[in-house]
Amino acid sequence: MTREKPCVLIGVTGCIAAYKTCEIVRGLQKAGVRVKVVMTEHATEFVGPTTFRALTHEPVAVGLFDDPSDPIHHISLAQECDVFLIAPCTANVAAKIAHGIADDLLTTTALATKSPLVLAPAMNVGMYEAAATQENFETLRRRGVRFIDAASGYQACGDVGRGRMEEPEAIVSQILTLLDDLFGVKRDLVGERVMVTAGPTVEPIDAVRYISNHSSGKMGYAIAEAACARGAEVTLVSGPVSLAAPEGVTVVPVKTACDMLEAARSAFAESSIAIFSAAVADLRPANPSDRKLKKGSDDASLASILLVENPDILKTLGWEKKPGQVVIGFAAETNDVIENARVKLEKKNADMIVANWVGEGRAFGQDDNQASFVLHEEVIDLPSMSKRDLADRILDQALLIAR
Ligand code: CTP
């Protein structure tokens, strides 16, 4: 944690639920959180800034130019907070944030902050269910904005349905869990650059066909996310997967093994830790066609696709390793797991191989993973755990190797 107390900035927007925000402020304060408040002009119609000033013992800003001592108030607020919670969040403010509109202090701060943004929507059921609102929520979710979903029930306007802001206690508890997740983790990778390869590669046969494999990319994405949470600057060189880019991670999307080698090589040069979790296709069609091959006229080409070997990315870069760099690979095996991993450790000049047994539905696409760390001096067998926990264990081991 960078400061003594975590700081939550609460944005209050113009909705009757604004009175409940006072309880959120108190709940977070009781848990030892520093709370600051920023309000929209409309919010002040429901609760006055004086109320929040009295509760927080902090200045409460509304206008962009309210604080003459701080001409760039939205930037300082954005940088100061560990979490930016907007509660209640109206349909209008969610729409503005989704579209990058920044026309007051609250929305400029939302656009400027790099801290997690959490929205607790509150609005009439019709507005809540409107396609525009739902699409805005979807856009925001895709960008990593977190939601404390609105509850159903009796609404101030007399309607009954979804759109009531969640109860203050539930909001406080979710924010405290988030703070724990964010700051309960170690920050032992600050200053390190970590490169991760992930996902499958896709090797074209023709304009529509390709050779690939079942890799989901989950393991590599979990490693990237864990390294980033621990403070590293992370580059994730990823084959095509259906996972969202982890927040704060630089993703370099690639398709083929040759592209992956090129992207990995440039990230590797800058990295202190490199983890190769991609399931690289070992072979690729030698002469991919840039048009679709047709049955009948192209029968001969379709019947015998000449394959050539792809570069081994881990092996190539493993042998380019400089002193101080840690190189970790994976070995997905169906038999003789440890023996095969040992061979890969030596052949690819890695510092460690994370060996796992695959087959019968294990590893590929699953959330859990059972692995062994194969090092030059020892083998460490791990119990089955989530890919996210395994990611942290791999990073722990990488730091031990580095020292
Ligand atoms: N790897 C790589 N480039 C390749 C093949 C593999 O970077 N062309 C890396 C993988 O990312 C993994 C390790 O090498 O970290 C081992 O991959 P794996 O598929 O288990 O082994 P292979 O070397 O391909 O050998 P085999 O398929 O014969 O087991």
Reduce the secondary structure of 90-141 to three states and give it as a string: CHHHHHHHHCCCCCCHHHHHHHHCCCCEEEEECCCHHHHHCHHHHHHHHHHH
Fold matches, 7-183 and 193-402: yes
Measured CA to CA, the distance from residue 24 to residue 17 in angstroms comes to 11
- Which residues are bridge partners to 362 per DSSP? 359
Instruction: Pick the residue whose CA is nearest to atom 8 on ligand 1.
Output: 312
Task: Give the count of beta carbons closer than 10 Å to the beta carbon of residue 382.
Answer: 17
**pLDDT by residue, tens only, the chain of 403 residues:** 334 567 999 999 999 999 999 999 998 887 768 899 999 999 999 999 999 999 999 999 898 877 767 767 778 888 889 999 999 999 999 999 999 999 999 999 999 999 999 999 999 999 999 999 999 999 999 999 999 999 998 877 888 889 999 999 999 989 988 987 887 756 678 789 999 999 999 999 999 999 999 899 999 999 999 998 777 899 999 999 999 998 779 999 999 999 999 999 999 999 999 999 999 999 999 999 999 999 999 998 889 999 999 999 999 999 999 999 999 999 989 899 999 999 999 999 999 999 998 876 565 566 777 899 999 999 999 999 999 999 999 999 999 999 8
The torsion of the CA quartet 28, 47, 84, 174, rounded to 10 degrees, works out to: 40
Measured CA to CA, the distance from residue 138 to residue 133 in angstroms comes to 9
Return phi, psi of residue 5, to 5°: -115, 140
For the Cβ of 330 lying below 6 angstroms from any atom of ligand 1, the answer is yes
Measured CA to CA, the distance from residue 144 to residue 247 in angstroms comes to 7
Return phi, psi of residue 328, to 5°: -125, 130
The helix/strand/coil state of 63 is: coil
Specify whether domain 193-402 bears CATH 3.40.50.10300: yes
pLDDT at position 361: 56
Given 7, 22, 89, 157, the catalytic residue: 157
- Which residues are bridge partners to 37 per DSSP? 10
Measured CA to CA, the distance from residue 220 to residue 237 in angstroms comes to 9
The whole model's pTM is what?
0.61
> Do the beta carbons of residue 289 and residue 338 sit within 8 Å?
no
Tokens of 126: 């019709």
- With tokens 């809540």, the residue in question is 128
Residue to probe by mutation, ligand 1, list 262, 277, 280, most atoms within 8 Å of CB: 280
HSE at residue 132, side-chain half, CA atoms within 13 A, is 10
Measured CA to CA, the distance from residue 396 to residue 279 in angstroms comes to 23
Peptide bond preceding 59: is omega within 30 degrees of 0, i.e. cis? no
Measured CA to CA, the distance from residue 250 to residue 9 in angstroms comes to 26
CATH number of 7-183, picked from 3.40.50.300, 1.10.3720.10, 3.40.50.1950, 3.30.450.20: 3.40.50.1950
For the Cβ of 87 lying below 6 angstroms from any atom of ligand 1, the answer is no
Q: What letter does residue 144 receive in the DSSP assignment?
A: T
Closest atom of ligand 1 to 264 CA is 7
The helix/strand/coil state of 310 is: coil
pLDDT at position 1: 31
Q: Vertex 37, ends 32 and 40: CA angle to 5°?
A: 160
> Do the beta carbons of residue 159 and residue 171 sit within 8 Å?
no
In the chain, where the domains are located: 7-183, 193-402
Residue to probe by mutation, ligand 1, list 203, 256, 262, 282, most atoms within 8 Å of CB: 282
pLDDT at position 365: 62
Q: Is 22 a catalytic residue?
A: no
- With tokens 């296709």, the residue in question is 281
Task: Give the count of beta carbons closer than 10 Å to the beta carbon of residue 67.
Answer: 15
For the Cβ of 310 lying below 6 angstroms from any atom of ligand 1, the answer is yes
